[in-house]
A = this chain, B = another copy of it.
């Protein structure tokens, strides 16, 4: 798979009732990387993802894929959806079939692929999400976390260049979060671009190559430690500063951490700290 650059320029979007949700938002998804999308409740993360996926046509502005503009025609959308897939937050919004394997096959069948190819893709997607053992179980008997992974498998079976996920870790326990992130990292290493929205600033700092914050109708994009260290922005976006940045900065000031980039999670921080008092490693 080759990397494609998905971008939005000057998006204006909203719903019938009420004001504009996005008002001139621009975003470039770094190809082949991991992007975390942050923002307050109601700031427009889901709206932005729906625009990027082609589900919601913006009132103004454009969505481009490697420079080519997305037109909201049947053909344009069809091509776009082969490259860009969105996994919704609630798995029940995406799973319509009683059988797990059949549900995952829906996308590939719609692409008009031959049966053999569909079968192979279903197996591969179930494998990547570590839910192959669920293939024969009915959707309605699965737990929330299992349904969530099956919904992701449904998108992965389309082999998108860009996979976007709306709060994929919400409601999962810490180990399940770790597993989900590992699966996404596997996908990214198998040559995809991953975009994920989340409310967890610590998770964004530790997982993402780049973050984008949706705030006041626009998007602020940049390196995780820079964007998530900008207190004025964080306050506007109703976000907290990740603890690793606060604590790391102080420890750097105390001379306990080497200069340069701060560690992004507890393990890295512990590894970077000296073991014994007074000794700098």
A contact residues vs B (CB 8 Å cutoff) = 17, 39-43, 141, 143-145, 167, 170-176, 178, 199, 201-202, 238-241, 243-244, 246-247, 250-251, 253-256, 265-266, 269-270, 273-274, 276-277
Contacts and interface: CB of A to CB of B under 8 A. Distances in A.
A178 to B, nearest CB: 8
Main secondary structure of the interface of A (DSSP, over half): loop
Given A173-B238, A243-B243, 13 more contacts: A40-B175, A40-B176, A41-B171, A41-B176, A43-B173, A167-B171, A170-B170, A174-B239, A176-B238, A241-B266, A243-B244, A246-B270, A250-B273
A269 B254 CA distance: 14
Contact of A174 (B43, B240, B255): B240
Nearest to A242: B266
Copies in the complex: 2
B173 A170 contact: no
Contacts of A277: 253-255
Contacts of A43: 173
A261 to B, nearest CB: 18
A174 B145 contact: no
A273 B273 CA distance: 15
Contact of A39 (B39, B173, B253): B173
